[in-house]
Amino acid sequence: MPMSDLFRTTSATDRGRIDRAIGKGNGMFLGHVANGMTRAELERRYRAGEFPDLNPMIAAHALKEAGR
């Protein structure tokens, strides 16, 4: 019997599987912010497609908290 989560309906065989690509852009972006990368370099990398699934609200909040 299918189960629903927040985003889709999953079958019993799909439960427990994690798509490891989800959140990768957010994680990489936040890691770079934490390591002190400049805003200009972050923007350059974003335009180059290095953070494909970056959530703009997460990015804005991270930069604000980091004082950039």
pTM: 0.68
pLDDT in tens, 4-54: 555 566 565 655 666 666 789 999 999 999 999 999 999 999 999 999 889
Measured distance CA(49)–CA(46) in Å, rounded: 5
Measured distance CA(12)–CA(52) in Å, rounded: 29
DSSP label of 23: T
Measured distance CA(39)–CA(22) in Å, rounded: 23
